[in-house]
A and B are shown apart, each in its own frame.
Chain A
Amino acid sequence: MASGDQRALLVAYLKEGDVRARDRLVEELMPLVRSLANRYAGRGEPTEDLVQVGAIGLVKAIDRFELEKGVELSTYAVPTIVGEIRRHFRDRTWGVHVPRRLKELSMRLSRTRDELSAQLGRSPTVAELAAAVGVDEEEAIDALEASKAYAPRSLDQPYDDDEPGRLPGLADEERGYAALERGSVVRQGLDALDERERRIVVLRFLRGMSQSEIALEVGISQMHVSRLLRRALEEMRGRLEEPEVPA
């Protein structure tokens, strides 16, 4: 594709919000994503998964592209695509080190956290959580943290039993989002998020709702809210340094 066509599509998407133009760009650049994903093949992850993760990097690159910079989209997109693939490796390797026992315990703690919050009318302490599931505090902390820090970042696969599904009431939050000046730091950060992450960030930081209120409003567990917030903040900060891909 001639770079002039790409530019026209970029303008259509970035200036006029033409999502079909973006989809065309994604389609055109998929061979690039495939060739990058192939370089990471044979390291224990299905190539198709890598292509899928790489495609997300591509979408992000298109979304963040600045027309004024005068670079080619393909040049601009390569680090983002590679970054996304590397991150996938990192998260997967974290994931395998968390033993099954901790994963199960963290799911029980997640449910207990929601139940106790409702019962007590406030967030429970670690001692209360540990007593309720019958483990010591150290084990409870280990499991709670493992579920946050080491959860594999698979695309929309919740770690616990939360329902993914489409979120109601998005339009309302989108208004708050639209009110942010395009190009402002917060807005740029939000642009990097997926729909659900963005909604939770808006509720937390623009509306000032607590995590437990958000959990009730969105209909997912507090633990899941916490994980999405974490991931969202990480996305918004951008990734200055990419971790090494394990050999």
Chain B
Amino acid sequence: MNGRVVLEVPAKPEFLLLARLAATGVGRSAGASEETIADLKLAITEAVANAVRHAYPADDPGRVWVELSADGGKLEIAVSDAGRGLGGAEIEPRAEEQGESGMGLSIIRAIADEVDVGAGADGRGTRVRFACRL
């Protein structure tokens, strides 16, 4: 079944569960195997966790968007925030290659295809996109 689901949650760890459940639901709707669903949940967890940890000041959590699109033979996922972004003053350029967020991205790269990291839609924040083949 093709279609697009968008989940918007506060950038707090306790909302990770909702992103994982949405992924399960979309995965099942799209007829994904349990293995694909498990991969999908792991990749989404890493992407959302990055946004929760790095996008916003600790005392002022913003929002995280998780878009899941089932289209033909694959699932496309985009996790975005409206936080300080990759080039922000508090994060060194290419910091996504290091430390915790770097680890998260390498996990996503290991299990998903077409991984792409850039700025959010209006140039703010960070957007991580990837695809999982069904």
A/B contact in complex, CB under 8 angstroms: yes
Taking CB atoms, residues of chain A closer than 8 Å to B20 are 138
* Binary per-residue interface labels of chain B (97-133) against chain A in the complex, 1 for a CB within 8 Å, 0 otherwise: 0000000000000000000000000000000000000
A138 to B22, CA, bound (A): 11
Q: Is the CB of B21 within 8 A of A141?
A: yes
| Interface residues of chain A: helix, strand, loop or mixed (majority) | helix
> Does B28 sit within 8 A of A, measured CB to CB?
yes
B95 interface hit (Cβ, 8 Å): no
Label chain B's interface by main secondary structure: helix
Is residue A191 contacting chain B, with contact meaning CB distance below 8 A?
Answer: no
B69 contacts chain A at the CB level, 8 A cutoff? no
Contact B24 A142 (CB under 8 A): yes
What is the chain A residue whose CB lies nearest that of B27?
A97
The yes or no answer to A137 lying at the interface (CB within 8 A) is yes
In this complex, how many residues of chain B approach chain A with their Cβ under 8 Å: the count is 9
- Find out whether the CB atom of B17 lies under 8 angstroms from the CB atom of A137: yes
- Classify chain A: how many residues form its interface, as a range: 10 to 19
CA distance in complex: A142, B34 (Å): 12
Closest to A102 in B: B34
State how many angstroms separate the Cβ of B9 from the closest Cβ of chain A: 15
Smallest CB separation, A224 vs chain B (Å): 21
**B-side contacts of A141, CB under 8 Å:** 21
Mask, B10-30, CB within 8 Å of A = 1, is 000000010011001100100
Shortest distance from the beta carbon of B109 to any chain A beta carbon, whole Å: 24
A243 to chain B: which residues have CB within 8 Å? Answer: 1
The CA-CA distance from A191 to B31 in the complex, in Å, is: 34
Q: CB-defined interface of A66-100 with B at 8 Å, one 1/0 digit per residue?
A: 00000000000000000000000000011001110
The docked-state distance in angstroms from the alpha carbon of A94 to that of B1 is 11
Chain A residue with the shortest CB-CB distance to B1? A243
Please tell me if the beta carbons of A97 and B31 are within 8 angstroms of each other in the complex. yes
User: Which listed residue (B17, B28, B31) contacts A138, Cβ 8 A?
Assistant: B17
Q: Does A150 contact B (CB under 8 A)?
A: yes
Q: Which residues of B contact A99 (CB under 8 A)?
A: 34
Residue of B nearest to A94 (CB): B28
Query: Which residue of chain B has the shortest Cβ distance to A137 in the bound complex?
Result: B17
B interface footprint on A118-155 (CB within 8 Å = 1, 0 otherwise): 00000000000000000001100110011000100000
In the complex, the 7 A-B pairs of residues with the closest C-beta atoms, listed nearest first: A99-B34, A97-B28, A142-B24, A138-B17, A97-B31, A138-B20, A141-B21
Residues of chain B at the chain A interface (Cβ within 8 Å): 1, 17, 20-21, 24-25, 28, 31, 34
Interface residues of A (CB under 8 A from B): 93-94, 97-99, 137-138, 141-142, 145-146, 150, 243
* New A-B pairs, 12, CB < 8 Å, besides A98-B28, A138-B21, A146-B28: A93-B31, A97-B28, A97-B31, A99-B34, A137-B17, A138-B17, A138-B20, A141-B21, A142-B21, A142-B24, A145-B25, A150-B28
